[in-house]
Amino acid sequence: MSISRSFRVVINGKVAGHPLLRPAIEEVRARGRRVEVRVTWESGDAALFAEEAARNGLDGVVAVGGDGTLSEVVDGVCRLPLEQRCAVGVVPLGTANDFAKACGIGAGDPLDGLMLAAEAEPTRIDVGRLGNRRFINVASGGFGAEVTTETPHDWKHLLGRAAYLITGLTQVKNIRAHTLRLEGPDFTWAGRAYVFAVGNGRQAGGGFQVCPRARIDDGLLDVFVLPETPPNQLMRLLRDLLHLRADLPPDAIVYRQLPRLRVTSDEMIQVNLDGEPLRSRSHEFAVEPAALPFFLPPRASSLVAHAG
């Protein structure tokens, strides 16, 4: 890609009035880049705008918003064959911004994310798939997914990531385990679990690293399961997990790295896919290696297995 690249900025309509956004776009244009702007009105718009940009041969698409907006943009670009996919970038202006934060892309000044897309060479990263939907961060099921869905939008706007924690604390007395069966290559686990997560990225829920060993270009999905445990041990275990304790009992959690995974249950299980709740008795996950060029800063090197 040339330094005079052209790209489309896809802005979540809820953050279109951000005071620094318009000046940042004008600054990038003043530096000689061609920037198209599209603002979303309803669900699905971001994916359509992103697919159109890739189909029209633009060099990149920048998602401006939260993890949900980024997920839609990725899904839109990945509707095209691999050779037609343009690069994706992000300006994190949402509530949690989990993928951007893990990559070291700050939420302070939109100009930072825009200039990254204007100047950086993209890195090919993996893309996760749940059924026909793509994702690049984390899909979570069970209690974590329920908390994300039940957190009021107004709380997210006012409190940011703390809103998820507050909702979780108010709902912890209602936490219950689900009977699950997980199957992947050379791996089977069956039992009752409070939470499971399937990650291409590392963190969810505003910064909780549920998949701390994940790399976004290793061709694997990281699988985390929190099995049912006696009530008097649950709170201590949750606290240790939130503080990333390394000395957890070996049977306290289940952690694997797999190219694909099937999760089944006799009951409907809710999975949160970057803000979108999906309910089914069977969820099929897979990874598409090196499926998407992405604009990453140098400080994202800890997330990349094949640097350079």
**Per-residue confidence at 177, pLDDT binned at 50, 70, 90?**
confident
As a whole number, the mean pLDDT across the chain is 84
Calculate the dihedral angle through the C-alpha atoms of 88, 91, 95, 98, rounding to the nearest 10 degrees. 50
For the annotated catalytic residues, the residue numbers are 276
pLDDT at 147: 43
Pair 154, 245 in one domain: yes
Judge if 160 and 268 occupy the same domain: yes
Both 144 and 253 in one domain: the answer is: yes
Angle at 260 between CA 255 and CA 261, to 5 degrees: 65
Q: 271-295, pLDDT tens digit by residue?
A: 988 777 888 999 999 999 999 999 9
In a domain, 127, yes or no: no
Q: Are residues 142 and 23 in the same domain?
A: no
Asked if the structure places residue 266 within a domain, the reply is: yes
End-to-end CA distance of the chain: 16
Q: Across the strands, what pairs with 15? A: none
State the residue range of the domain holding 246.
135-288
Q: Is residue 303 in a domain?
A: no
96 plus 142 within the same structural domain: no
Claim to verify: residue 23 and residue 107 sit in the same structural domain? yes
Whether residues 177 and 259 share a domain: the answer is: yes
Distance from CA of residue 298 to its chain's centroid? 19
Gap between the Cα atoms of 50 and 9, Å rounded: 9
Residue 224 and residue 200 share a domain: yes
Q: What is the pTM of this model?
A: 0.85
211 SS3 class: coil
Q: Please enumerate in sequence order all residues whose Cβ is within 8 A of that of 222, keeping only pairs 6 or more positions apart, or say none.
A: 197, 198, 199, 200, 202, 211, 213, 214, 255, 256, 257
* pLDDT of 251: 66
Whether 144 and 267 share a structural domain: yes
At 40, the pLDDT band (50, 70, 90 cuts) reads very high
**pLDDT tens by residue, 101-117:** 999 998 889 999 999 99
Number of domains present in the structure of the chain: 2
Whether 308 shows a pLDDT value over 90: the answer reads: no
Query: Last residue of a domain, which of 91, 121, 151?
Result: 121
- Same domain as 178, residue 139: yes
Question: What digits encode the pLDDT tens for the residues 124-149?
Answer: 999 999 999 999 999 988 765 444 44
> Tell me, what's the pLDDT at 2?
46
Residue with tokens 């803000």: 275
Among 121, 156, 188, identify where a domain stops. 121
Q: Is the pLDDT of residue 152 over 50?
A: no
Residues 280 and 157 in one domain: yes
pLDDT of residue 307: 54
Give the end of a domain, one of 88, 121, 154: 121
Instruction: Give yes or no for a contact between 220 and 121, defined as CB atoms under 8 angstroms apart.
Output: no
pLDDT at 239 > cutoff 80: no
| Structure token digits, residue 197 | 């997560």
3-state secondary structure of 102: helix
pLDDT confidence bin for 163, thresholds 50/70/90: very low
- Domain annotation covers residue 300: no
Are residues 16 and 52 both part of a single domain? yes
pLDDT value of position 305: 76
Task: Give 99's contacts (C-beta < 8 A, 6+ positions apart).
Answer: 67, 70, 90, 136, 137, 201
Q: Burial-class residue 239 by CB neighbours within 10 Å (0-12, 13-18, 19+).
A: exposed
Strands 208-209 and 203-204: antiparallel
